[in-house]
Amino acid sequence: LEASDALELLSPVFQNIELRRYAVSRLSHAKPEQILLYLPQLVQALKYERFAQNVLKEVKEQEEFQKRKEDAKEGSIKAASEKTTTGSDYDAQSQQILEQAIQKCLTGDDLASFLIRSACNDATTTYYLYWYLKVEVCG
């Protein structure tokens, strides 16, 4: 499957997550010059990704998991409810969640992660990605 064909699989017609991941995996074999050629369409295809809902869901699940883990450490619900979280504890947890989200972006197989990786590997792609995103958000 060529990069141009993979681009078509990222249109709003195709909502299947696995199909979109397959398209991204095919795009990952493209040269940076090809990615630049298709970058405007790839940025527009971000609108059809469901990553925002997935990221929020994962962050909430992570926070709930951390809370349950802390409650279990305390040994009882009463002890857990009396415990106060200090600002530094909260900052450390927030930092950990943020680092996990960044790591997922760098290793993820969704379109947004692919574009971030491409931008990290090529300065020209970084420049154009920034401006295409800015135009898409403001326009």
| pTM metric for this prediction | 0.61
pLDDT by residue (tens digit) across 56-102?
566 677 777 778 877 777 765 555 455 555 566 667 777 777 777 66
Residue pair 119/39 in contact (Cβ under 8 Å)? The answer is no
Domain spans in the chain, listed from the N-terminal domain onward: 1-49+110-139, 51-108
CATH of domain 1-49+110-139: 1.25.40.70
Closest CA to 69 of 52, 56, 83, 49: 83
